[in-house]
Amino acid sequence: MELSSLEKQLLQSVDADSRNDEEELRRYQKEALKQLRGAFRYMQEKYPDTEIRWRLFDPLTRITERGVLICSLPDHTSFHKINILLRQNEYVYSDTLYGDLIRDRYDEAVCACLKEFIPNIRAYTVFYTSCGSEISGRSSLSEIISHVPLLVRHTDLFVCPPAGITAEAADALRKEGFFGAYSIYSTEDRELFEHGSYEQLRASSIRSNFNLFEGLKEGTAS
């Protein structure tokens, strides 16, 4: 079977010895191709309506702990890892791409939770936990919040005028299950707050940190 142009492109990161037909591949190349095609199937089943850009492939070998396929969404600058592990002679896959797809819903809920305490607020969350099919872009907010083990996440909060997280605000986040690490970026510039990019806000605002993890009675600010 002839390899697709995408398969040949990604396999070149494994070996510069490029071949056009599957039957011509060496044994380790065939194993890498098996991992790659498995990752494609996994992502297609998990994100059937999502266009994905494929960036780089580093297969699982005898001397590596895991294989990695790097991908991104067309309109996003962040890259995501698809982890490839071998379990009971079968390749298993997990990824972090879901974070880009659920971010807007999650951030809207965080802002709604804090509106009573901080009227002018924006949020941007990054999810770090690599998940299999149990969490996808179609997962509900309750599934995201109640997932076990806890999805590791970091939320940037942008506020104008400057405001901190009070004990009451922290308690509201805790009750709704919005655990994680927070960075608070405060600015007096209303124009920047309303129209600036997240990168501009991070560069031009005063930053403080706040951690809220399950089981802690209070967040810690610094």
Q: What is the CATH number of the domain that holds 105?
A: 3.10.310
Question: What's the predicted TM-score (pTM) here?
Answer: 0.87
76 and 16, same domain (yes or no): yes
Count of structural domains, the chain? 2
Mean pLDDT of 102-128: 97
H or E stretch covering 184: strand 180-186
In this prediction, residue 25 carries a pLDDT of 80
Domain boundary among 76, 95, 114: 95
216 and 108, same domain (yes or no): yes
In this prediction, residue 149 carries a pLDDT of 80
pLDDT digits (tens, 9 = 90+) for 26-39: 888 889 899 999 99
Separation between Cα atoms, residue 179 and residue 75, nearest integer Å: 28
110 and 157, same domain (yes or no): yes
H or E stretch covering 195: helix 190-195
Which amino acid belongs to residue 178? Answer: F
Pairing of strands 153-159, 180-186: parallel
Mean pLDDT of 107-127: 97
In this prediction, residue 15 carries a pLDDT of 72
192 and 106, same domain (yes or no): yes
pLDDT digits (tens, 9 = 90+) for 203-219: 999 999 999 986 544 43
Q: Helix, strand, coil: what percent of the chain each, to 5? A: 35, 25, 40
Check whether 99 has a pLDDT greater than 50: yes
DSSP string, 147-181: -SSPPPEEEEEEESS-----HHHHHHHHHHT--EE
Structural domain boundaries, residue 74: 5-95
In this prediction, residue 219 carries a pLDDT of 39
124 and 73, same domain (yes or no): no
79 and 136, same domain (yes or no): no
125 and 68, same domain (yes or no): no
Mean pLDDT of 193-202: 96
Q: What angle do CA 195, 199, 203 make, to 5 degrees?
A: 100
